[in-house]
Structure formats: structure tokens, C-alpha cells
């Protein structure tokens, strides 16, 4: 009788264990599918937001300015890649989607694991360990459009004590959207800045 009871208990234990493993696999697969869907949705949101910004610049007259809101994607950055900045520093790069031309991108935030900060002010130009792999994040998951004569206003430029050369802040954070932006056309260029 003890043998039968022991066999029943071990059969039940195996069935329960198999059920738990099966549920675990289903939950893991559901999480992965949801993550892929969520990323696709953010990329679609980014594309729509970029299209809207580019559309606003097309009819902007010289000397005029307009304001707009960017709602999404949350936790991304609007980044201006400027070929002139790239040419000044061989350590810097731009996403391949830009085709080595000025472009405007919406890129997911890549937080530095150690500091939990976005990294150096121009970290979107670097793809190595020094600057949190911001460029790689933008290249792999970001959305870019060529945008000749459309730039994000450089908030400040400075020399750093690090060996990275000149640092430029040329992005607008969407960590807490919606974000008010101003687009102004001067000297045949559209300058985008964040309204505070």
C-alpha cells in the first residue's frame, strides 16, 4: 500500500511540476510577444511624431515660428544628428539610417547601468562603453528621417575633463511627455527648441 501511495504522490508531483513549467513557458512567451508588440507600437508612435514635426517645417516661412506638442513615445529622445559635428570628431557617429546626412531621430533612452543616467550630454553620438551606447540604441530601435536644415537648438556646448572633446546637448527629452516645442525658421534653417 505504501508503494502505491508513494507512486501516486510522485506521479502527482511530476504532473504538478510539468504544469508549473508549462505555465512558466507560456508566461515567458506572452511577455516576449508583448515586448515585441510594445516596441513596434513605440516605433510607430515615433514615426508618426517625426512625420508631424517634419510636416510642420515644410510650410514654415522665414522669420516665423510655431509651437507644437510631442506626446510620444514616452521615455525616448528627439535627437538632431548634424554631419558637421560628426566631421569634427572621429569618435562620434550617427545612425546608419541617416546615410551620413543631417537627420532627425526619435531614439529610446539608454540608461547607464552604473549611474542610471542618460550618460554624457551628447551620448547619442557614441556607441562604445564610454558613453552608454546611446548611438547603438538609436540605430537598433530608433526612427530617423533625413532633415536637411532642421536642427535641435544646442542648449550648450562645453569642453569636458574627460577625453571626449566638445560635448553638445542637441536632444529633447520625452521622459515626461507631452513636450512643448517651438520651431523657428531663420536663415533658411529650422531650429527646434523645447519650451519651458
Indicate yes or no: pTM above 0.85.
no
Would you say residue 190 has pLDDT above 90? yes
Q: What is the pLDDT of residue 5?
A: 58
pLDDT band (50, 70, 90) for residue 48: very high
CA 167/CA 160 separation, integer angstroms = 7
pLDDT of residue 41: 85
- E runs forming strands in the chain: 65-70, 76-81, 103-108, 143-146, 150-152, 157-159, 166-168, 171-173, 179-186, 189-194
Amino acid at each position: 500500500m505504501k508503494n502505491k501511495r508513494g507512486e501516486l504522490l510522485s506521479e502527482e508531483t511530476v504532473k504538478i511540476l510539468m504544469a508549473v513549467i508549462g505555465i512558466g513557458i507560456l508566461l515567458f512567451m506572452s511577455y516576449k510577444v508583448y515586448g515585441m508588440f510594445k516596441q513596434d507600437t513605440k516605433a510607430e508612435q515615433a514615426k508618426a511624431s517625426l512625420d508631424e514635426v517634419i510636416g510642420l517645417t515644410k510650410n514654415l516661412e522665414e522669420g516665423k515660428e510655431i509651437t507644437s506638442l510631442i506626446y510620444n513615445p514616452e521615455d525616448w529622445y528627439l535627437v538632431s544628428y548634424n554631419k558637421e559635428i560628426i566631421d569634427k570628431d572621429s569618435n562620434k557617429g550617427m545612425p546608419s539610417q541617416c546615410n551620413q546626412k543631417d537627420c532627425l531621430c526619435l531614439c529610446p533612452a539608454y540608461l547607464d547601468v552604473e549611474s542610471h543616467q542618460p550618460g554624457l550630454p551628447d551620448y547619442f553620438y557614441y556607441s562604445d562603453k564610454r558613453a552608454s551606447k546611446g548611438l547603438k540604441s538609436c540605430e537598433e530601435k530608433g526612427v530617423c528621417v533625413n532633415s536637411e536644415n532642421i536642427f535641435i537648438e544646442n542648449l550648450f556646448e562645453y569642453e569636458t575633463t574627460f577625453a571626449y572633446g566638445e560635448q553638445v546637448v542637441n536632444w529633447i527629452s520625452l521622459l515626461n511627455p507631452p513636450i512643448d516645442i517651438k520651431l523657428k525658421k531663420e536663415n533658411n534653417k529650422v531650429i527646434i527648441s523645447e519650451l519651458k
